[in-house]
Structure 1
Amino acid sequence: MLEFACRFCGVFNRFERLFCISCRRRLVPLTVYDLSVDDFAYPGDVDNMHALEGSRIFTGLARRFISGKRDEMLRRWLGDRARLVEQSSKLYEIVKRCGWILGVERLPEVYVAGLPEPNAFTFGDDDNAVLVIDYRMLELLTEDEVTALVAHELTHVKSRHLIYHTLAELMLRGVDIVAPILGVGVVTASLRMLLLAWHRDSEVTADRGALLVVQKPDVLKGLLAKLTGAADGGKVEELFKTHPNFRSRVEKINEFYKSPEYIRAVNKIRRREELNQALAPLCRFCKEPKPVEAFFCPSCGRSQL
């Protein structure tokens, strides 16, 4: 059995593993053949993210606070209602597959929990995230929809949305809560609106990432319909929410699906998968051992590309 050491934690992993069994980091470094955020990011997400990052003091305080409070938040929010998902489970296989396609550098810890309502969310530090899925989602959704759900959440991880997402959720509980937590005097109304506007745009980016993984618009639309009940608030009401309304999200999914950007990203995914198969230690046709760097099998002579 071929094994090699993780370059981060030193734990040995079987050759075919995509992510380390110990630290959950990607075992093969990202290359130009892997998806980057630029391949699918929604322009509004990028623009508002740059504006938020321009407030360096606020951003630095937020990152230090949330990174330091990650485990405390996990215990407080989940308590004894959650169980860690085993790496041998079917759900974790979906997480690994989504993470590989999206080019995620480190998988989140994955929990199944009993939440107040059927949902899923990611939180914590961008470099050490937690993904929580309500157990009812696994009963309500098809396997394709679960994949779309996981891919949506992992796109947030890939896009480094988590710090600002957590702040936006706190904003909904009142501006006066966030400022004392961060140790600043006041969070302005304009910053609050910018944060909420960015959060809505970041959801469009996450929908795009999910679409690239499942490549079936109807699956993603079906997932959103189940999550939202197809409820459609007005534009004014939407301004004070972290998520865009159902109709707006469907329109943007259709728009991206028909775009040249989508076609280029899908082709990139396919080329990466072909390269991954070519670099395997076994021929993908005759299954005989071969050097990982060989693009032609020494046994059957067939090209691995």
Structure 2
Amino acid sequence: MDKKILDGLRSMEYEHPWDQEALEKLKSISGLDTVVKKFNQYSVEKFLRAEFTGSSIKVNKKNFPELHEQLINACNILGVFPVPDLYIKWDYGINAFTTGVERTFIVIHSGIIDLLSEDEASFIIGHELGHIKSQHVLYHQMASIFPHIGEILGQATLGLGAIVAAGLEVALLKWARMSEFTADRAGLLACQNFNAACSAFIKMSGLPTKYYDRIDVGSFLEQAQEFAEYDHSLLDSLAKKLINVWQDHPWSVLRVSELNKWCEAGQYSAVIDRQYKDSVFCCPYCRHPIQKTDYYCPNCGNRIIIA
């Protein structure tokens, strides 16, 4: 299937409102801007690039032309330039990550190549490109390394620094989880195949390879609905929050559910059909793209007043 190139795509056309809300709360923390600047100044980016250049395989059009073409196609669809470097790391977990603030690069596990279809792999690559397009990488690096910084601060300040660091760490991790919903939308825009996006999550959730020929997306969506119903019980809802508070990724079924809601609301199609292309404003309540002529936000329904 030929995929549409989304000319002029801007991240705000598809960014999840939970991502925007969590980031705004994160940025409101006093002193965070100083921490961000210092973190960027002393980033471990050079060490990471050296590590993967020395121990992993760098993809190019000579050694892995098909995979390189997938990366180029996803970059063209989403409008991510310059094209980031791509490395393959030996690991049969279906996983990937993006790092590097000055020179961003993507690392994918070898399991993605062997265990996923082309569209499923495009979803993963597009997901990582979504982090780049929305400029998530610096905060993601902070979230991954901050626990170690907090431990050092705690030892240096008799535990007081650790208390402060823990609060910031929780805020960073919450935003990191919310940012995944935005990146998932970018992944779907890149692969343009909802079933492939869902089946990638099903495989990541632990589906044995012997059952790969009988993936049931409908059953997984039903499981997501069952999971959502846990919120009706105060105890179950509290358990969900406590279990997830120190995680940097949201629940897989919730991610599929949010993608499904985005599609059912017609917002995915609107982006694909470039209905938001000329939008230059965002709803102040949910950050959804709006037109100058909109009186009400098409996403959250709030009345819009554009000066």
When normalised by structure 1's length, the TM-score is 0.69
- Structure 1 unaligned residues grouped into runs of 5+: 1-31, 273-305
Partner of 2:194: 217
Aligned residue in 1 for 2:113: 138
Amino acid at match of 1:120: A
Instruction: Check the 8 A contact 1:148/1:211 in 2, yes or no.
Output: yes
Residues 146 and 189 from structure 1, CA distance in 2 versus in 1: closer, same or farther, beyond 3 angstroms? same
Q: Corresponding residue for 2:263?
A: 257
Pair 1:101-2:77 in alignment = yes
Tell whether 2:148 aligns with 1:148: no
| Counterparts of 2:151 and 2:54, CA distance in 1 | 30
The answer for the alignment partner of 2:17 in structure 1 is 43
Partners of 1:216 and 1:243 in 2: how far apart?
Answer: 22
Structure 2 partner of 1:243 = 249
User: 2:57 is matched with which residue?
Assistant: 83
Query: Structure 1 runs of 4+ off > 6 angstroms?
Result: 230-233, 269-272
Q: Amino acid of the residue matched to residue 169 of structure 2? A: R
Q: Take 1:178 and 1:149, find their aligned partners in 2: how far apart are those partners?
A: 35
Q: Is the contact between residue 81 and residue 114 of structure 1 (CA under 8 Å) also seen in structure 2?
A: no
Alpha-carbon shift at residue 138 of structure 1 (Å): 0.2
SS at 2:70 equivalent: helix
| Higher RCO structure (Cα 8 Å, ≥6 apart) | 2
**Helix, strand or coil: the match of 1:234?**
helix
Q: Which moved more, 1:192-201 or 1:112-121?
A: 112-121
CA distance in 1 between counterparts of 2:89 and 2:7 reads 36
Higher helix share: 2
Name the residue aligned to 1:112: 88
The answer on 1:191 being equivalent to 2:168 is yes
CA contact (8 A) 1:113 1:135 kept: yes
* CA shift in 2, pair 1:179/1:53, >3 Å: farther
Paired residue total: 233
| Matched residue SS, 2:99 | strand
User: Any conservation in 2 of the 1:197–1:239 contact (CA below 8 Å)?
Assistant: yes
Tell me the residue number matched to 1:284: none
Q: Name the SS of the counterpart of 1:34 in structure 2.
A: coil
Runs (5+) with no aligned partner, structure 2: 1-5, 156-160, 208-222, 228-238, 279-307
C-alpha distance in structure 2 between counterparts of 1:178 and 1:85, whole Å: 39
Query: For the aligned residues, what is the CA RMSD?
Result: 2.9
Question: Match for 2:70: what amino acid?
Answer: I
Q: 2:98 aligns with which of 122, 132, 150?
A: 122
Distance 1:141 1:214 in 2: 13
